[in-house]
Amino acid sequence: MILAILPVIPLIGVLFLLFKRGRFINIPLITSAVVLVFGVCGLQSVFEGIPLNYTVPLPGPVAPNFHADSLSAIFVLAAGFIWSVVSIYVPEYMEQEGRTKVFELCSLLTLSAVLGVFLAGDLFTLLLFFELMTVSSFFWVIHRGNKEAIRAGYFYLFYSIVGGLFLALGIVFMGTATDIMPIIGSGPVNPLNSKAFTWSIVLLIIGFGIKAGMVPLHLWLPHAHSVAPAPGSALLSGLLIKVGAYGLIRVGEFAGWGTYLQGGVSWLGSGLAVLGTCTMLVGVLAALVQSDAKRLLAYHSISQIGYIILGLGIGLYLGPDGGLGLIGSIYHIVNHTLFKAALFLGVGIIYIGTNETNLYKLGGLWRRFPLTALFMLIAVLGITGAPGLNGYASKTLLHHAVSHAAENGPQWIIWSERLFLLVGVGTATSFIKLYYLIFLGKPAKVKVNENKSFGMNLAMGLLAAVMIVIGFKPEIFASIAAAPAAQVLGMKNAAATLESLSFWNPSDVLSMIITLAIGGLTCWLGFRSGAFHWHIPAWLTLEGIGKLTGMSILFIWRRGAEWYGSIVATAGRASGNLRARLFKYFRRFDKSRSGNIGKINLTGISADAALLITVLMFLIVWYAFIVK
């Protein structure tokens, strides 16, 4: 019952918001706090290892069905927390952007949809909330209403619609592959038709991959995440792409966590690992040459999602030994939610203060925004994986998983591990660049508006505090939340693997510090050589290739349309001629003079007679020769 109530709470909040009179009650904050409290209390039994189930009693072939296990609980609580924090931030920020109410409405609707996705018990319910999420978050993207925002909005909407349709088709194939539609949380599917099952998995991965920003389906992400208002970006980057990751984990569940994948889906683990590697590499390389702070952060979302997908892939690839990959991914999802939200919120504060997000026009702002600078430093250290902060924990877990796979795996996994380290260096480089250009460096010549930003800094502070707590005690979250989730999903010996691992292994700490140092060096080299200003040639980017393809398709289409038009015109002329001739011909029948047989005058009816004879002839021929 609580499962069906949770997504409804924000809808009640929407009603309150619609009829609100006073300006000083922060309804989104109250609503998300209520969600958080209800989540903590209601999902108590879930943490003790007993999944909850609730089916809405409706007649017919499909009824909405809700299910919560540890994995859903982690996501639900993360959503409740991040929404509360962002709601503290929203009023002060949106005062500058305007149309606060619309933003808050969409925000609550999206919260409802997100909770629904996490608590969904079957694929239909999941898809229902998934589509709602697409529509409600679309309004964040187009909030500013300018040309750029609309363009990004189209990108976002069309990719999401395509994703939703692919999910629908995936569900169709899933229904064909099995006799009963599989329930979320029921473990591996035993397909009757393994080919259909394979296709279903492929389609579901495409559908969720679009939402997650997986390369090569990520093109919408940098546009959408950079034009939304800062709290919107924080939620989009912090939580909404995690919905895609959540979906991928559930797809992995259908294939079977903790088992060596067989049959039509044996490629799944390695496939996801390769996609994940590409995703993190593409994201980080593109991020290095960005000059806009929000775009840089958006590209890093792609890169960090790459880490998560890589972890999932390794987890599936290693089968029963892949516990670390899965735990690392879940852990990284939560961590990324925290620091990416904090980073976007921080950039938002700078934007409100200076009306600028171009890095090269900012500088030396730590004096004007000391608190923001401090919290941003924590978030930056978090995302680069500095020891003592939360990013370190999950990246260590993922690195252990990857190197474990590389030890006795094929060549490509070894490359995966090398690239993993390289991406770490790239992340460090671009975040040192970001931090240096905004807060250190030469003081900028921008005008700084004075305005109150207590709530905004408070929100960031909350996120930073959680990051520090996780950073100092990394094993707590791993053992009380991530490991049970992995075990529920099917990784039987996940907890045991985790216990045998120490987070503060000197070699891990050292390698992270070395990564940071190399990152700093690269950043310095980048500034000296001007490499950060390099523009990627259009033909090298996916977008450029897409544009070229689109233009050639358009060209072919136009040519085709021209030909079609000329053919139609010719046919029209020909048929016109034919019609005129036939008409003339039949007229002759009508005007025939000598139609007398004896005393019977046939004038005027000869046309009908001819028609009759023709039909009769046809029928005679038909019956005599064709129909046997």
Q: Which of 135, 278, 440, 446: binder of another protein (CB under 8 A)?
A: 135
CB of 529 to another protein, least distance (A): 43
CB 236 within 8 A of CB 225: yes
Site for another protein in 183-222 (CB under 8 A): 196, 199
**Which stretch in 274-282, 356-364, 515-523, 620-628 sits in contact with another protein by CB under 8 A?**
620-628
d(CA 431, CA 377): 10
CB of 129 to another protein, least distance (A): 9
Name the residue among 70, 69, 63, 76 with its Cα closest to residue 36. 76
Task: Compare residues 64 and 322 and give the one whose CB is closer to another protein.
Answer: 64
Does 175 interact with another protein (rule: CB under 8 A)?
yes
**Which stretch in 13-21, 161-169, 355-363, 386-394 sits in contact with another protein by CB under 8 A?**
161-169
Neighbouring C-beta atoms of residue 433, cutoff 10 Å: 24
CB of 27 to another protein, least distance (A): 22
CB of 135 to another protein, least distance (A): 7
CB 447 within 8 A of CB 333: no
CB of 597 to another protein, least distance (A): 30
For 517-534, b/e burial (b = at least 16 CB within 10 A) is ebbbebbeebbeeeebee
- What is the 8-class DSSP label of residue 487? H
CB of 61 to another protein, least distance (A): 6
Task: Compare residues 162 and 374 and give the one whose CB is closer to another protein.
Answer: 162
d(CA 393, CA 439): 26
Q: Tell me the two tokens of residue 319.
A: 């089968």
d(CA 579, CA 389): 84
Integer CA distances (angstroms), 360 to 46, 68, 84, 94, 254, in order: 49, 47, 33, 25, 47
d(CA 171, CA 470): 38
d(CA 248, CA 120): 14
**Which stretch in 156-164, 447-455, 541-549, 597-605 sits in contact with another protein by CB under 8 A?**
156-164
Q: Tell me the two tokens of residue 193.
A: 């038709």
Does 4 interact with another protein (rule: CB under 8 A)?
no
Query: In which element (H, E) is residue 54 found?
Result: strand 52-55
Q: Which of 132, 214, 241, 402: binder of another protein (CB under 8 A)?
A: 132
d(CA 576, CA 572): 6
Q: Which of 164, 244, 247, 409: binder of another protein (CB under 8 A)?
A: 164
Q: Which of 173, 208, 351, 477: binder of another protein (CB under 8 A)?
A: 173
Site string for another protein, 64-93 (x = CB under 8 A): x-----------------------------
CB of 490 to another protein, least distance (A): 28
Site string for another protein, 36-55 (x = CB under 8 A): --------------------
Cis status, amide bond into 410, omega within 30 of 0: no
| Residue ranges in contact with another protein by CB under 8 A | 58-64, 124, 127-128, 130-132, 134-135, 142, 145, 150, 153-154, 157-158, 161-162, 164-166, 168-169, 171-173, 175-176, 196, 199, 622, 626-628
